[in-house]
Amino acid sequence: MNKNALILLRGLPGSGKSTLAKFLSEDGKYPVLSIDSYFTDPVTGIYKFDPYSNHIAYKQCEDQTKSKMTNGHSKIFVDNTFTLEWEMEPYFKLAAEMNYLLFVLTVENRHGNGNVHEIPNHQLRKMAEKYKVQLMPDHHL
């Protein structure tokens, strides 16, 4: 059995994706990648989102994931909202191409915490409405 795994952690902002990814990565033993890193200053840790650069952030995260796979990391975590199916597709393809097991974990905000990005509740509701969970492959339905 293949021992390499790509684990996508998805959920709304504030659900705990980054916290869970850090925990599962054993505090950095395994890489954790995120679109948020593009918008976070590595020195100050300050997050500043720029919607006009979002496509660049997505591409950078995909490229970093492929690089970690090429370097043979046995576990790679990617934490993003992944509210829409197309956002996960490049990772599905990478996992298939690089022979990695693929896991998609949905993180729920059962703890009631807010999100660090200060996204207002009305925007979170819009994101939640678009969010789809696939419990079975389409061809089984």
Report residue 12 as tokens: 């709304």
> Domain of 104?
5-140
CATH of the domain at 33: 3.40.50.300
Interval 82-130: pLDDT, tens: 988 899 999 999 999 999 999 999 998 877 777 776 777 888 888 888 8
Prediction pTM value: 0.87
Interval 32-62: pLDDT, tens: 999 999 999 989 988 888 889 989 999 999 9
Tally of domains within the chain: 1
Residue 98 near residue 69, CB atoms below 8 Å: yes
